[in-house]
Amino acid sequence: MTGKTDDLDAVYALRTPEDSVRYYRDWAARYDRDFAAGMGYRSPHAVAAVFAALGGRGPVLDVGAGTGLVAEALARIGTGPVDAIDISAEMLAVAAGKGIYRQVIRADLTAVLPIGNSVYSGLISAGTFTHGHVGPEAFEELLRVASPGALFAVTVHSAVYERMGFAQRFASLGGRIKGFRTEPFDIYGPDAEGAHAGDTGWIVSFRKA
């Protein structure tokens, strides 16, 4: 258990995109086994279920896709096609190897994305908007690449929802989005151990107006 706890402590302490690239380079090969399975990581399945329940459809952009856990959950419910975007080449290599993405895109979510306007009917994300990762400023570009009416379903760690400005950013979007809703969830399963075992988050959903 110590290794999983150390990984979470380290990843929550990341400060820059370059920090993320370095850390996930080493974590990618064991992420699914040591972290996702070991902690009973619920976020990918939880956000995919909300996306499906709200009528989400493809094409979908998996934001901060990592090793492809969200796309695996979407595949089980028959939603696609799905494209992956992430800053880590090593995590994307694992994801691409699963054969569940139409394409994988390596990009920094805090910068201008190499994607055209109004491309995606759905945007989904698990575990990206959290400690040491991506802040609410990313939604400007994400809205740009979303088509009118596109469904967003993303997780936001409860500890950063107010502190990092997510609540304020969503409120500021005003008439640019519609159907805004949040629901709480447990990030990890009942067998998770360590300081972060009880972490919670919000599943945030809305449509681009």
To the nearest whole percent, how much of the chain has pLDDT over 70?
85
Residue with tokens 């895109």: 105
* ∠ Cα 191 152 105 (to 5°): 85
Q: List the one residue out of 113, 92, 114 whose CA is nearest residue 101.
A: 92
Residue with tokens 């329940």: 53
pLDDT confidence tier of residue 194, bands split at 50, 70 and 90 = confident
pLDDT of 191 reads 84
pLDDT of 24 reads 65
Q: List the one residue out of 180, 12, 17 whose CA is nearest residue 86.
A: 17
pLDDT at residue 51 tops 50: yes
pLDDT in tens, 8-32: 555 565 555 666 556 666 667 677 7
pLDDT at residue 114 tops 80: yes
Give the mean pLDDT of the chain: 89
The CATH class that applies to domain 2-208 reads: alpha beta
Q: What global pTM score does this model have?
A: 0.88
pLDDT at residue 4 tops 50: no
pLDDT of 2 reads 38
Residue spans per domain, the chain: 2-208
pLDDT at residue 109 tops 90: yes
pLDDT confidence tier of residue 57, bands split at 50, 70 and 90 = very high
CA pair distance 149, 209, nearest whole angstrom: 6
Tokens linked to 54:
């709200």
pLDDT of 26 reads 64
Q: What is the mean pLDDT of residues 83-106?
A: 96
CA pair distance 188, 146, nearest whole angstrom: 29
pLDDT of 10 reads 58
Specify whether the CB–CB gap between 133 and 108 falls below 8 A: no
pLDDT at residue 62 tops 90: yes
Rg (CA), the chain: 16
Measured torsion, CA atoms of residues 59, 63, 65, 68, in degrees rounded to the nearest 10: -30
